Amino acid sequence: MAVVFSKPKSLTDREFHYCPGCPHGIIHRLVAQAIDNLGIEGRTIGIAPVGCAVMAYDYFACDMVEAAHGRAPAVATGIKRALPDRIVFTYQGDGDLASIGMAETVHSAARGENITIIFVNNAIYGMTGGQMAPTSLPGQVTQTSPYGRDVATQGYPIRICELLSSLDGPHFIARVAVNNVKNVNQAAKTIEKAFRNQVEGKGFSLVEVVSACPTNWGMTPSKALAWVSERMIPYYPLGVFKDADEKEDRA
């Protein structure tokens, strides 16, 4: 018998600190699988965010840097420009990337930096205890929106992929989900493509992963994944929003 599935080499043996059923573990594994498949573990540098994934530097078996809250794309820009032969990725949540780090996100995309961004959207601030995030859905109950997010006073969620795909800078923008086996497999391919784009020098690639937060949503892990299908994906449709490869094909 041959091993057909095991922990990727690009993950350390450290056990994840995430809550039971937290999809961060799945997404970490997909990133590590992409690094393994492309054979780039020796020259990859990851940037950890502030948020639940703040200790991602313990889990990825490559060089890691911890950035100030939201500033991962700026740190990635500096590393990539100083060491252009390295593969530089950031791993950020929605509170990090879509709120305090929005300026860094938009401008690194507009500059078309040759970096890879993995954006985990679970529609809530996980680490700090479940406050409303820029991506919380209309009507969603959180610690700071106990009657549900009221768009009249709290505004509407931000769809990052749609927003960034209007810029000329990015090469590849896509949204995937990890709520079932089919979507996890699709997410694996998309994340690998986002890394391959950087290896081939194509430019800015961002993959938004629609995720879940069972603990702060107050659900069991399987109910949380069902909520992703029922509520999150209708608001955050999956697909490729920009792919400059295809544009070249069409031209």
Partner 1 sequence: MAKVTFNEDRCKGCGLCVEACPKKIVVIDRDRINRKGHNPATVREMDKCIGCAFCATMCPDCVITVEK
The token pair at 38 is 């492309």
Distance CA 176, CA 88 (A): 21
- Which C-beta is closer to partner 1: that of 58 or that of 246? 58
- Closest listed residue to residue 201, CA positions, set 86, 99, 103, 44: 86
Among 10, 23, 195, 203, binds partner 1 (CB under 8 A): 23
Among 9, 10, 11, 96, binds partner 1 (CB under 8 A): 11
Angstrom distance (rounded) from CA 134 to CA 154: 9
3-state secondary structure of 131: strand
Closest CA to 92 of 52, 129, 130: 52
- From the list 19-27, 105-113, 150-158, 198-206, the region that binds partner 1 by CB under 8 A is 19-27
Total of residues contacting partner 1 (CB under 8 A):
29
Task: State yes or no: residue 22 binds partner 1 (CB under 8 A).
Answer: yes
Q: Which of 6/153 has CB closer to partner 1?
A: 6
Identify which of residues 11 and 97 has a Cβ nearer to partner 1 in the complex: 11
Which residues within the stretch 199-238 sit at the binding site for partner 1 (CB under 8 A)?
A: 214, 220-222, 225
CB of 228 to partner 1, least distance (A): 12
Tell me if 202 sits within 8 A of 236, measured CB to CB.
no
Burial 128-149 (b: 16+ CB within 10 A, else e): eebbbbbbbbeebbbeebeeeb
Residues that bind partner 1 (CB under 8 A): 1-7, 11, 15-16, 18-26, 29, 180-181, 184-185, 214, 220-222, 225
